[in-house]
Amino acid sequence: MLAFLLRNAFNMMLFCLLLASSVSWAAPPATVSQVDLARYLGKWFEIGHLPMFFQRQCVANTSAEYVKREDGRLGVINRCETKDGKYDESVGQASVVEGTGNAQLKVSFFWPFRGDYWVIGLDPDYRWALVASPDRDHLWLLSRSRNLPQADSEKALAIAREQGFKLDQWSATPQTE
């Protein structure tokens, strides 16, 4: 009986090792090396995104605004136009993850839940930013202006593709105001 149990345990362990070796464990996307928070503060317009549950009501004019708070964190105000022409707004806060050059934040819109906000692409002049979650489920392209030149959009989305993001569900965000 002991030999039977040991043989089955060995077989199960071997099966698990084979299964684990066949699975591709992708490393999380790389963030930019440094984000100057003083330059990052202010209003950003969403140029496009991968669909996200919390944005399902948004149809146009999506923006995010970042402000410095007295406690050292960032205030976050996300806003979008809904189908009925009204605006939906979410107010939250973000904290920098230490040791990331300010490129990784933890964002919360309702306590105790927090999400990862990683800057994986950033224009040297802070004209656009590519923001993602480490699991590659969420991705946003943000711009300081309502319209981003096509060459800049292509450059940002090339960064996303190089980092393993699947863009088949990419959705452009109308900015009509």
Q: Is there a domain that residue 161 lies in? A: yes
Q: Would you call 114 helix, strand, or coil by DSSP?
A: strand
Measure the CA–CA gap between 74 and 105, rounded to whole angstroms. 9
Residue 121: closest CA among 167, 97, 172, 157: 157
Domain range enclosing 71: 37-172
Q: Is there a domain that residue 71 lies in? A: yes
The predicted pLDDT at position 25 comes to: 56
**41-71: per-residue pLDDT in tens?**
999 999 999 988 888 899 999 999 999 999 9
Number of domains in the chain: 1
Residue 85 has pLDDT above 60, yes or no: yes
Residue 79: closest CA among 54, 96, 99: 54
Q: Is there a domain that residue 142 lies in? A: yes
CATH code at position 130 = 2.40.128.20
Cα dihedral 94, 98, 100, 101 in deg (nearest 10)? 80
**Burial (Cβ within 10 Å: 0-12, 13-18, ≥19) of residue 103:** buried
Residue 99 has pLDDT above 60, yes or no: yes
Q: Is there a domain that residue 164 lies in? A: yes
Q: Is there a domain that residue 111 lies in? A: yes
Measure the CA–CA gap between 2 and 16, rounded to whole angstroms. 21
Residue 108 has pLDDT above 60, yes or no: yes
Q: Is there a domain that residue 6 lies in? A: no
Mean pLDDT score across all residues of the chain: 88
Q: Is there a domain that residue 2 lies in? A: no
CA–CA distances in Å: residue 55 to residues 46, 117, 125, 143, 175: 12, 15, 28, 18, 15
